[in-house]
Amino acid sequence: MKKLPLVFAFVALIALLGSQYFRVRAPLTTRTHPPIEHEAKPKPGAEAPAPAPPAESSSVIDTMQVAISVVVLGAGLFVVLSKKYEAAEKNWAFGAIGTVVGFWLKL
């Protein structure tokens, strides 16, 4: 039961870093160059290709970053401020708090 906050903070941290990874990557469906002249043009009357799925809005990503940060900070502060955890068990909490603070300072 003592490792439950550690596991929860670790999963939240991985999710936070994963959301940052997917935010930086460019979607694969966008064109980065103008059309090439020799590309096949659709024939008149041919069915149009399906539209690309909408990109995930940045507000969802921002909300998830804040929510995960709050969860990790809450778990870390709980362990740091609680009297029932020893110094060796508080080390990961200080690291998690430092990681979240560093993440937000980087932005």
pLDDT digits (tens, 9 = 90+) for 73-105: 999 999 999 989 898 889 989 999 999 999 999
**pLDDT-derived band at 61, boundaries 50, 70, 90:** confident
Is 0.75 surpassed by the pTM of this model?
A: no
Q: Is the pLDDT of residue 1 over 90?
A: no
Residues 6+ apart with CB under 8 A from 55: 27
**pLDDT-derived band at 53, boundaries 50, 70, 90:** low
Q: Yes or no: say if 72 and 100 are a contact pair by the CB < 8 Å rule.
A: yes
Q: Yes or no: say if 101 and 81 are a contact pair by the CB < 8 Å rule.
A: no
